Amino acid sequence: MSDAAEIRAQLAARQKNHALPRSLYCDEAVFQADLAHVFAREWLFAVPACQLVKAGDYATLQIGAYPVIVVRGADGMIRAFHNVCRHRGQRLCAKSTGSTPKLVCPYHQWTYDLDGKLLWAKDMQEDFDPRAHGLKKVHCVDIGGMVFICLADVPPPIADLAGALGRYLAPSGLKEARVAHVSTIIEKGNWKLVLENNRECYHCGGAHPSLCRTYSDNPRMTAMDGPDAASPDILAHWQRCEAAGLPSRFVNHPDMQWRLARIPLLNNADSYTMSTKPAVRGKRMGTIPFNDAGSLLFFHYPNTWNHFLADHAIVFRVLPVSATETEVTTTWLVPGDAVEGVDYDLKELTEVWLATNDEDRQVVEENQVGIRSPAYVPGPYSLVQEEGVIQFVDWYCNTLGARLGPDPALAA
């Protein structure tokens, strides 16, 4: 059986509303299919735009075999390129972030402008055409201060997301925000276990003592009953926030690839801090009018979930490293004029989610170890608690299944 046929069979064999078969979390062939058909085809969150403050600031990321660089140009535009020299293929930038006036290849110093144009190549023959050797572009859009990239030749439509996300993010003023802290961890688990874990709070009571001071683990908080239907406390929160100019109701992609919703925190908490008070004192993000605006939640499959609070924002990026390793990068954003040690204490700002991420890492790693056992049998998801997980695995299986192409045996 070919790899595609094998994976198709695994997808077909899965039981609805159950965890996935072991091979989908462990096998190299599935991992390669995930890279080729999901990560190389979808829009991926790369960086917050405010991380690239001035012309020449760049960030690099690795998506499977593709090294990519995202860089702010002299014209202020953020662009993405394959981080691969057009001479003999050296990786241009090895550092994860930095700043440079030009992109200079470390091997033979071919020199590219920040817009990808090849400016200089020493001792090349007369018929060499620099215009034919600019950096290869990667699709790149900045939506409300979140930079997304797509490796596909023809990316999926993004207009609906851009409209909704742009509107929901506008009051958070991400473009004027500042990066206060970045944490990158490797979780020894398949990327889908990382996403599944994020899509439910069934585990929160047991795993997240500090987050649970301020984040409700009630599944009704994030259940989608429709744009105008939710539990009374959420409806009251939406009314108050929308009256103050904060878009708040659920908005989602028809097949749940993304969702936006503003939820209240527990007991009128202001922020994800141990004290429940704002971590940034006396300053708020953008034009958010009050401290207890709750959290604007935004996820987009396959690689990001986010929390936008009144005093700060936390953005998450997930990148698969191997079948059983996943990189999770968390970035804390604060109002642009907030000064560390004056307006906020870095430990107070980051401690709850640093702990939460580590707790989630342990959960995911133990999950991977258990799934590796030949004794593993996919168990049922709770329809009450794990609706989000079901939506994620359905999205994943439908997306991968459609891209593997029709089963030749059925077509015959």
Residue 112, beta-bridge partner list: 103, 118
Contact 305, 316 (CB under 8 A): yes
Q: Which of 16, 53, 77, 88 binds ligand FES (CB under 6 A)?
A: 88
325-335 sheet: strands from edge to edge: 177-187, 325-335, 313-322, 304-308, 295-300, 258-263, 251-252
CA quadruple 190, 218, 306, 398: dihedral sign: positive
C-beta of 105: minimal distance to ligand FES in Å?
3
C-beta of 134: minimal distance to ligand FES in Å?
13
Asked if residue 110 binds ligand FES (CB under 6 A), the reply is yes
Is the Cβ of residue 105 or residue 328 nearer to ligand FES in the bound state? Answer: 105
- What phi and psi, each to the nearest 5 degrees, are found at residue 24? -70, -20
Count residues binding ligand FES (CB under 6 A): 8
For residues 237 and 353, give the distance between their C-alpha atoms in angstroms, rounded to a whole number. 24
Asked if residue 200 binds Fe ion (CB under 5 A), the reply is no
Contact 172, 296 (CB under 8 A): yes
Asked if residue 107 binds ligand FES (CB under 6 A), the reply is yes
Q: Is 345 helix (H, G, I), strand (E, B) or coil?
A: coil
Q: Which residues contact ligand 3BY by CB under 6 A?
A: 198, 201, 204, 215, 297, 305
Asked if residue 187 binds Fe ion (CB under 5 A), the reply is no
Q: Which does 305 bind (CB under 5 to 8 A by kind): ligand 3BY, Fe ion, ligand FES, none?
A: ligand 3BY
CA quadruple 148, 153, 155, 156: dihedral sign: negative
Given the rule CB under 6 A, which of 1-9, 104-112, 123-131, 280-288 is the region that contacts ligand FES?
A: 104-112
Asked if residue 196 binds Fe ion (CB under 5 A), the reply is no
C-beta of 86: minimal distance to ligand FES in Å?
7
Given the rule CB under 5 A, which of 119-127, 180-188, 309-317, 352-360 is the region that contacts Fe ion?
A: 352-360
Q: Which does 290 bind (CB under 5 to 8 A by kind): ligand FES, ligand 3BY, Fe ion, none?
A: none
Contacts with 250 (C-beta within 8 Å, 6 or more apart), sequence order: 224, 226, 227, 230, 259, 260, 261
Amino acid type, 80: A
Residues that bind ligand FES (CB under 6 A): 85, 87-88, 90, 105, 107-108, 110
